[in-house]
Structure 1
């Protein structure tokens, strides 16, 4: 079983990402269950706007698309910015829109029989809104969203420290991250054993 972690941080490598730091807890927990974990940071790639899989002219999204299709588990990492997902997360969802009409050889939509979860950090509130926006969009594409398939950290209302500069709230965020990994793996395994059949 494979998991792809798609980081929608605004920071380019090698700058440290708060959200990736929390996401590593989920990745480690999945790896302990035998899941092969892959990572991509979209800020490092040339991913132009569009709603098709390949817009041409140096577009690096098709490589990400292939990695999405190789993974049974998708974990989206995004910060909360002004109470919303990052602009890169929105770009990711727009590019994934093409998957709504893509099917496997048997006619099954390509996002079916895959699970997804969301990791959010931010020194402001709004994490539940971000989780619902990203999860809802991916469910529209056909991904399955297990119960408790998310974790988040925030400082609380208003500006403040970020995740890597304080220990505030880490115990809860990390224990929720491990539960998230457990649920993602369990539901992915269930779908592998009894997949959703092709429609019609």
Structure 2
């Protein structure tokens, strides 16, 4: 079993990413199930706008796309900015739009029989909105979203500490992240045993 995490933090490496720290909880839980995970930090890549898989020379997205097609599990990890997913999360979803018209060897759209979940961080509220926006887009693309396939952390209303600055709320976010990993893995296993068949 393989998983891919798209870290949609606006911070480039080597700056610490709160979003990555919470995603690491899910990655660790997946590793305990012998699921290997590849992380793409999108701020480190040159990903031009577009709704195709490859826009040409220098495009960093085709390598990400290749990893998406080799993994059964996708996790989109985004901070919350002005109550919405980050611009890089939106960019990733726009580039993934091309997958709707791509078909696999079985005749299904390539995202079929793959599962996806969402990790969200932010020092202000809006996490449920971000989860809903990203999950809805992933369903359109063809991914299966299991129940409770998300975790988040936020400081609550108003500005405050970042995830890495406090232990407040971590226990809940971590236990929810571990449950998320379990649900993603379980549904991915079920789809591997009994895949969605082509309609035509």
TM-score by length of 1: 0.99
Determine whether 1:60 maps to 2:66: no
Counterpart of 1:107 in structure 2 is 107
Alpha-carbon distance in structure 2 between the residues aligned to 1:55 and 1:36: 29
Residue in structure 1 matched with residue 80 of structure 2 by the alignment? 80
Task: Please report how far the alpha carbon of residue 108 of structure 1 lies from its aligned counterpart in structure 2 after TM superposition.
Answer: 1.0
Tell me the equivalent position of 1:194. 194
**Counterpart of 2:121 in 1: which secondary structure?**
strand
Q: How far off is 1:122 after superposition? A: 0.1
Measure the CA separation in 1 of the matches of 2:49 and 2:199: 30
**Counterparts of residues 27-176 of structure 1 (less than 5 Å):** 27-176=27-176
Q: Secondary structure at the match of 2:116?
A: strand
Shift, 1:106, TM fit: 2.4
Q: How far off its partner does 1:145 sit?
A: 0.2
Instruction: After TM superposition, give the deviation of residue 56 of structure 1 in Å.
Output: 0.3
Instruction: Tell me the SS of whatever aligns to 1:148.
Output: coil
4+ runs deviating over 6 angstroms? none
Q: Report how far residue 66 of structure 1 moved.
A: 0.1
C-alpha distance in structure 1 between counterparts of 2:95 and 2:120, whole Å: 20
Report how many aligned residue pairs link the two structures. Answer: 200
Residues of 2 paired with 1:25 and 1:58: CA distance? 32
Q: CA RMSD in A?
A: 0.5
Q: 2: distance between equivalents of 1:105 and 1:121? A: 37
1:75 to partner: Cα distance:
0.4
Give the TM-score of the pair, scaled to structure 2. 0.99
- Measured in 2, the distance between the counterparts of 1:41 and 1:175 equals 24
For residue 32 of structure 1, report the CA deviation from its aligned partner.
0.1
In 1, Cα distance between the equivalents of 2:136 and 2:52?
A: 20
- State the SS of the aligned residue for 1:182: helix
For residue 38 of structure 1, give the secondary structure of its aligned residue in structure 2.
strand
Unaligned 5+ residue runs, structure 1? Answer: none
* Alpha-carbon distance between aligned partners in 2 of 1:64 and 1:165, rounded to the nearest angstrom: 31
SS of the counterpart of 1:116?
strand
